[in-house]
Amino acid sequence: MARGIVAMIRAQALVRAEMTAVDFGCGTGLIALGLAEHVRRVIGIDSSEGMLSVLNEKLRLAGIRNMEMLRLDLEQAPAPELRVGLVVSAMTLHHLADVPAVLSKLATMLAPGGYIALADLVTEDGSFHGDMTSVQHLGFDPAWRRACCAGWDSRTCIAASRMSSNVASSSIRYFW
């Protein structure tokens, strides 16, 4: 899935060699590592020390030096004072209670002409996650996504494509 998301972002020409990108909810770095070879710098933001420890070890083993990590809970803390060309968030939003507030914070990190690329579940029945402990939303429908991006420049919030992934139940889940 991560390779597909990075490929969609690259296909939309949202990645440039001189840019800095933020991967919000980076986890163990699947998206961030895919972006690292295509941009000057990647900043991975996550609230989990454990996830960032795993990512740090991956960076060390691979000798990747253009990535840094920031432990931060954007639901509780203000956005860092960054100006980046690209903010990516993949499979994180459905874990957040106040998605519009976090998206607003992410938007403040964009440099003029920057982009936000989001990939998350389209509304589903809850079968994507076995353990629902940290799940706040069962995905997002198209009307909700449009409302969330209302007022943004039409080039800032792009629906790049739809992709699907088979899950254990053999049903299809779509991501945006």
Could you report the per-residue pLDDT of 37-96, keeping only the tens digit for each? 999 999 999 999 999 999 999 999 999 999 999 999 999 999 999 999 999 988 778 778
Residue scoring higher pLDDT (146 or 26)? 26
pTM above 0.85, yes or no: no
Residue 65 sits at φ, ψ, to 5 deg, of -120, 0
Q: Residue 27: is its pLDDT beyond 60?
A: yes
Over residues 20-26, the mean pLDDT reads: 95
Ranges of beta strands (E only) in 97-149 are 110-119
Extract the tokens encoding 49. Answer: 């020390």
Extract the tokens encoding 5. Answer: 């998301």
Domains of the chain: 2-175 (3.40.50.150)
